[in-house]
Structure 1
Amino acid sequence: MSTLLEVSGVSVTFDGFRAINNLSIQIGEPELRAVIGPNGAGKTTFMDIITGKTKPDEGQVIWGDKNISLLGMSESQIAREGIGRKFQKPTVFEAQTVRENLAMALRNPRGPFAVLFYKKTKEGGQRIEEIAVEVGLTDELMRPAGELSHGQKQWLEIGMLLAQDPRLLLVDEPAAGMTTQEREHTTDLLKRAAETRAVVVVEHDMEFVRRLDCKVTVLHEGSVLAEGSLDHVTADQTVIDVYLGRG
């Protein structure tokens, strides 16, 4: 497994509060990684830095085989490099069908004219069918996205990100608000996605993290507190004191 993303010695201060403190994390390709930690640990800021939403005060963020620095890039440039992000609340086009949502997300030329003159292609149709199978929405392709359950909207949004063929997928609290059955489907979906790319999941739900069965990074006060399997980090006394011991 080669290193896809290297965050090295990164710090960020907001109004005198150090949100990220000399943070260093490496993500491989392919890899599934869970990031956990108490509120205010820096989990969201960590994703903001990778996607270019927040610029760090110091440190490096190195990407891909050519060791490109992401720090000088805009959010759209970073997205084009192959980094996709799914926020906690699903954002889909509710009036459009599931098929139309996936079609709009397919990795096509992104200029204004390309969108205006979007043509259906055989390859595009085939890819939509493949993604629908992957996320479990084959039977819903003709339904308006607004009619889907909360869990199905989450899967559609993950499908829309997969349609862009990212090398790194950042997923924020996917289990929130899901039924038990939906959560099981979501873990299976993320595990499959991570067979061919890097997937980083920020999550509070320990049972969900256990089902992911992957390496876990624990953040606390903006830096890495512990790293390893879930059993390893949950047996760490410092992790128990600052996170798990809070009940």
Structure 2
Amino acid sequence: MTALLEVSGVSKSFDGFKAINNLSFSIGEAELRAVIGPNGAGKTTFMDIVTGKTRPDEGEVRWGEKSQSLLKMSEARIAQAGIGRKFQRPTVFEDQTVTENLIMALKAPRGPFAVMRWKPTRDTDERVSDLARQVGLADQLDRRAGELSHGQKQWLEIGMLLAQEPRLLLVDEPAAGMTLAEREQTTALLRRLAETHAVVVVEHDMEFVRRLNCKVTVLHQGSVLAEGSLDHVSANPDVIKVYLGR
């Protein structure tokens, strides 16, 4: 399987602290991957580097069939290339409806004249309806985002990411603060998305990771400590030591 994202020998230090230390791993085109690790393992810095928010001190990050270097692209260009990131706290427009949030997120020309001339079409309506259906909000289109439950806001933000037509989604702790029913729906949603996208889930909740039933990458001190199924990495003595401190 050809890698969609290839991280090779990446390191990053902040004031002498090595947040990422010779990190290498790859993500396939239609793959669900969980990235776990204790606080300070480098999970957030890894996402910052992939999305262009942070530049590494050394190493390479390659993207797509043409193996383009992401390190030569701006954050906006990386997003346009097909990498979407969902932060832990949902950032939706609370005073706008679900429909309006999804319309604002649709991939379209963003120049001032294009925005002024833009009008919704039947294709827009169909696209918004399809996005809402994908994330389980088809019956919430006219509700203001601020009225949604925490879980529904998370799904709306995933829908807004999908509106940008990404090939890779980086999703940060999606299960945090959700009810059990919402967590189950989120598991099903992420597994479904991974049939047609690469989806990387950064998560602390081992029970949620188990439900995802996917390959797991364990980070520790900025490097890959172990990789494989959750059962495989959970049995690794080094992982046990890092997580349980013994």
Any idea what the Cα deviations from partners look like across 1:35-81, whole Å, max 9, x if unmatched? 00000000000000000000000000000001100001110010000
Which whole-Å deviations, capped at 9, do the CAs of 1:166-223 have from their partners, x for residues lacking one?
0000000000000000000001111111100100000000010001110000000000
TM-score normalised by the chain length of structure 1: 0.98
**3-state SS, counterpart of residue 92 of structure 2:** coil
What is the identity, as a one-letter code, of the residue corresponding to 1:171? V
| Structure 2 residue aligned with 1:72 | 72
Can you list the C-alpha shifts for 1:2-45, whole angstroms capped at 9, x where unaligned? 21000000000000000000000100001000000000000000
- Distance in 2 of aligned mates of 1:25 and 1:119: 43
Aligned residue for 1:219, secondary structure, equals: strand
Question: Does residue 178 in structure 1 map to residue 173 in structure 2?
Answer: no
Hey, what does 1:198 align to over in structure 2? 198
Structure 1 residue 113, shift from structure 2 partner:
2.4
- Aligned to 2:171, the other structure's residue is in SS state strand
Deviation at 1:155, TM superposition (A): 0.2
Residue 31 of structure 2 corresponds to: 31
Corresponding position: 1:139 with 2:139: yes
Output aligned runs, 1:108-147, within 5 Å: 108-147=108-147
Cα root mean square deviation, aligned: 1.0
Residue aligning to 1:6: 6
Task: Determine the C-alpha separation between the residues in 2 that align with 1:242 and 1:232.
Answer: 15
Percentage identity across paired residues of the two chains: 74
Shift of 1:246: 4.5
Question: Could you say if the C-alpha distance between residues 185 and 246 of structure 1 is closer, same or farther in structure 2, counting changes exceeding 3 Å?
Answer: farther
- Matched pairs, number: 246
Q: Give, in whole Å, the separation in 2 of the partners of 1:116 and 1:235.
A: 57
After TM superposition, list the pairs within 5 Å mapping 1:142-221 onto structure 2.
Answer: 142-221=142-221
**Which residues of structure 1 form unaligned runs of 5+?**
none
Q: Under a length normalisation based on structure 2, what TM-score does the superposition of the two structures give?
A: 0.98
Structure 2 distance, partners of 1:107, 1:197, is: 17
> Unpaired runs of 5+ in structure 2?
none
Q: Distance in 1 between matches of 2:183 and 2:242?
A: 27
Residues of 2 paired with 1:112 and 1:185: CA distance? 38
